[in-house]
Amino acid sequence: GESVGLHLPTLSVQEGDNSIINCAYSNSASDYFIWYKQESGKGPQFIIDIRSNMDKRQGQRVTVLLNKTVKHLSLQIAATQPGDSAVYFCAENIGGGADGLTFGKGTHLIIQP
């Protein structure tokens, strides 16, 4: 079945640099996308979301970009800090959040000192 996919399983960046985590999705009917951060042994933590009627949304140090033409989603983290080390998942939904989420495979972000 269709699912949200992953571009890179591990991303290593220098502390202070910007991080870009990518995600591909295949279900063109998806209209709601969320990025989550998961630390080891914990549940997912909401970072930022975006609806399909937008192509960019900014939060504190994070930006999500949505390209519906190529079904691509990205998370940009500015000035990466050690506390940003975690696995990041994109998730998709149809119906604006009414149903359960389909998660991507995750990217492990490693911060180099």
The whole-angstrom separation of Cα 7 and Cα 76 is 14
- Contact pattern for other proteins over residues 14 through 53, marking x by CB under 8 A: --------------------x-x----xxxxxx--x----
Angle at 65 between CA 60 and CA 40, to 5 degrees: 60
3 state SS of 102: strand
Residue with smaller CB distance to other proteins, 25 or 103: 103
- Exposed/middle/buried for residue 23 (C-beta within 10 Å: 0-12, 13-18, 19+): buried
- Residue 94 Cβ, how far from other proteins at the closest point, in Å? 12
Among 25, 86, 88, 106, binds other proteins (CB under 8 A): 106
Instruction: Evaluate whether 11 touches 112 at the Cβ level (below 8 Å).
Output: no
Considering the complex, what minimum distance in angstroms separates the CB of residue 113 from other proteins? 24
Find the binding residues for other proteins in span 46-105 (CB under 8 A): 46, 49, 89, 96-105
Q: Which residues bind other proteins (CB under 8 A)?
A: 34, 36, 41-46, 49, 89, 96-106
